[in-house]
Amino acid sequence: MSVPLPSPDEHSLLLYVHGKEEPEIPWSMLGVISVAVYSSLEEWKSGQRVKLKDFKSEAYEGIFNLAMEFLRNIQTKSPARVHRALADLYALVSPDTLSNQAAIANQLEDFDVDAMPE
């Protein structure tokens, strides 16, 4: 299988895999999610919520870049696995899936927690 090595700025939502279009969660979206999770954890690091004064992109650019570098490193080692994970995530949260409860149950059944390292 040939999956292109995208850059976060040029990453397309659709990739052709095995002759068919298969959408993925965009890398930039995962980067923004990483920043949101990181900032939320920062607010709670003392055990009590301390609301951040300002949420400025400059303060979190490094976290975003780390997320992109993490994806690039994995992509270099196993592009097919990265594609499969991002395509499965897209399928799990896509509007078509979210409007179909049976599809959600099927996606969750396919998510193999037992195969993850501890």
DSSP H or E run through 89:
helix 79-93
Q: Is residue 105 part of a domain?
A: yes
Q: Is residue 106 part of a domain?
A: yes
Q: Is residue 45 part of a domain?
A: yes
Q: Is residue 65 part of a domain?
A: yes
Looking at residue 116, the DSSP 8-state letter turns out to be S
pLDDT by residue, tens only, the chain of 118 residues: 334 444 444 444 555 455 567 788 888 888 889 999 999 998 899 899 888 877 788 888 999 999 989 988 988 898 888 888 888 888 777 776 656 667 666 666 777 777 777 6
pTM confidence score? 0.63
- Rounded Cα gap, residues 11 and 79, in angstroms: 13
As for how many domains the chain has, the answer is 1
Q: Is residue 1 part of a domain?
A: no
Q: Are 58 and 52 in contact (CB under 8 A)?
A: no
Range of the domain at 36: 14-115
Question: Which of 96, 75, 90 is closest to 24 using CA atoms?
Answer: 90
Q: Is residue 69 part of a domain?
A: yes
φ, ψ dihedrals at 23, nearest 5°: -70, 150
Q: Is residue 4 part of a domain?
A: no
